[in-house]
């Protein structure tokens, strides 16, 4: 890693990768150099141009460009969002074999570049792909991080906030387990501000009930499938 600059490399410039990149630019101050790498080099170049053109409205300036695996050498963090897209009706585990092959083609050249930073994995099935990254890179566990259930937790907090009609930031709850069909949200650990949600549910006068919590948990678990289905609908004029 280079202590003189904060450098992030994004591998995979699809929908997930570019959502990350736009957030990185808009938040500002997180890094001062962003490298985009994609199997489609032209796409990475176009996305870099797009991001650069928005820097005039950003919170801080940074160097953004399409690069090669050799650019990973002095990076602080490498974000992996590359992989085969999940299809309608396909589970995250169905992606495993195909994305494992993709990762073999990524991790090897990254490590050969001399990269000595931290991997952040967002490709599904993310828990297993994080393990694949760990095995292929031979990095210590503290240097290979997966996004895990962070997205599911955000969905849970939004839905609970909507249900209780409060700001999701005032909901303290977590989805545990894998980022997938076996995930669960422990009701006993959910808080509405400083009050346990189980206590809120005990008050029969407010109309809230445990069954609704189970429905919300299921909505969180199946949200990705509904989102993918909706986004794959043909665009009509």
Per DSSP, the three-state class of 117 is: coil
Q: Is the pLDDT of residue 23 over 80?
A: yes
HEC string of 166-234 equals CCHHHEECCCECCCCCCCECCHHHCEECCEEHHHHHHCHHHCCCHHHHHHHHHHHHHHHHHHHHHHCCC
Catalytic residues: 179
∠ Cα 126 132 133 (to 5°):
90
pLDDT the model gives residue 235: 62
Which CATH fold topology does 7-146 show?
A: Rossmann fold (3.40.50)
pLDDT the model gives residue 95: 75
pLDDT the model gives residue 59: 83
Q: Is the pLDDT of residue 232 over 90?
A: no
Which CATH fold topology does 150-231 show?
A: L-2-Hydroxyisocaproate Dehydrogenase; Chain A, domain 2 (3.90.110)
Q: Is the pLDDT of residue 86 over 80?
A: no
Q: Is the pLDDT of residue 93 over 80?
A: no
Domain ranges of the chain: 7-146, 150-231
Sorting pLDDT into bands at 50, 70 and 90, what band is 180?
confident
Following DSSP, what letter does each residue of 54-107 receive, concatenated? TGGGSSS--EEEE--GGGGTT-SEEEE--SPPPPTT--TGGGHHHHHHHHHHHH
> CA-CA-CA-CA torsion for 193, 194, 199, 203, nearest 10 degrees?
-60
């Amino acid at each position: 890693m280079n202590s003189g600059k904060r450098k992030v490399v994004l591998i995979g410039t699809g929908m997930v990768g570019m959502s990350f990149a736009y957030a990185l630019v808009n938040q500002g101050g997180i890094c001062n150099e962003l490298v985009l790498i994609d199997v489609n080099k032209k796409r990475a170049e176009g996305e870099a141009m797009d991001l650069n053109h928005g820097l005039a409205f950003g919170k801080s300036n940074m160097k953004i460009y399409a690069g090669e695996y050799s650019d990973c050498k002095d990076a602080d963090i490498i974000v992996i969002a590359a992989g085969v897209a999940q299809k309608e009706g396909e589970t995250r585990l169905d992606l495993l074999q195909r994305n494992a092959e993709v990762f073999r083609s990524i991790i090897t050249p990254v490590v050969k570049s001399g990269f000595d930073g931290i991997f952040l994995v967002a490709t599904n099935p993310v828990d297993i792909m994080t393990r694949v990254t760990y095995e292929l890179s031979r990095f210590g566990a503290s240097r290979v991080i997966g996004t895990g259930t962070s997205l599911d937790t955000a969905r849970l907090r939004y839905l609970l906030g909507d249900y209780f009609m409060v700001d999701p930031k005032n909901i303290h709850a977590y989805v545990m387990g894998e980022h997938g069909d076996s995930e669960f949200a422990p009701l006993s650990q959910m808080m509405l501000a400083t009050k346990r949600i189980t206590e809120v549910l005990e008050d029969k006068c407010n109309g809230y009930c445990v069954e609704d919590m189970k429905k919300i948990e299921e909505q969180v678990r199946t949200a990705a499938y509904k989102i993918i289905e909706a986004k794959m609908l043909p665009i009509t004029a």
